[in-house]
Amino acid sequence: QVQLVESGGGLVQPGGSLRLSCAASGFTFAYYAIAWFRQAPGKEREGVACFSAGDGRIYYGDSVKGRFAISRDNIKNTAYLQMNSLKPEDTGLYYCAVNTGLLGGNCRDKEDYGMRSWGRGTLVTVSS
């Protein structure tokens, strides 16, 4: 089955950096787009970034453009989210996600990028 395991979260001061990892298994990672989302308590899920497989396009949520960078290593079956210049409002549970269906190769023009399978998340807390 599809498995996505996030790691790398923790407590960081405003202005600091973290690098999250998403280890994928149970599917051919290189064929599918991979996306990152986050959710803070009491708030709706927010799309952070998405990296298409078929066309190589990368998308970022407006709130993280210029600060975050998504990447992927198809040999290691791992996606990453480099987070710089972190702000308290970046605090939340960060998830990676895929859609291993026929339309899952590229990020879709949707709030959820067309993702269907989700990891359990890693907690990021930005606080002084």
What does the pLDDT look like over 11-39, one tens digit per residue?
999 999 999 999 999 999 999 999 999 99
Residue 98 contacts residue 33 (beta carbons within 8 Å): yes
The pLDDT, as a whole number, for residue 78 is 98
Q: Are strands 34-39 and 68-73 parallel, antiparallel or unpaired?
A: unpaired
Closest CA to 37 of 23, 20, 16, 13: 20
Residue 32 contacts residue 99 (beta carbons within 8 Å): yes
What does the pLDDT look like over 40-70, one tens digit per residue?
989 999 999 999 998 899 999 999 999 999 9
Confidence of residue 83 (pLDDT cuts 50, 70, 90): very high
Residue 71 contacts residue 50 (beta carbons within 8 Å): no
The pLDDT, as a whole number, for residue 25 is 98
Q: How far apart are the first and last CA of the chain?
A: 39
Residue 128 contacts residue 12 (beta carbons within 8 Å): no
Residue 50 contacts residue 59 (beta carbons within 8 Å): yes
Report CA torsion sign: 72, 21, 115, 11: negative
% the chain with pLDDT above 70: 100
d(CA 36, CA 86): 16
**Average pLDDT of the segment spanning 76-80:** 98
The pLDDT, as a whole number, for residue 63 is 95
Residue 32 contacts residue 114 (beta carbons within 8 Å): no
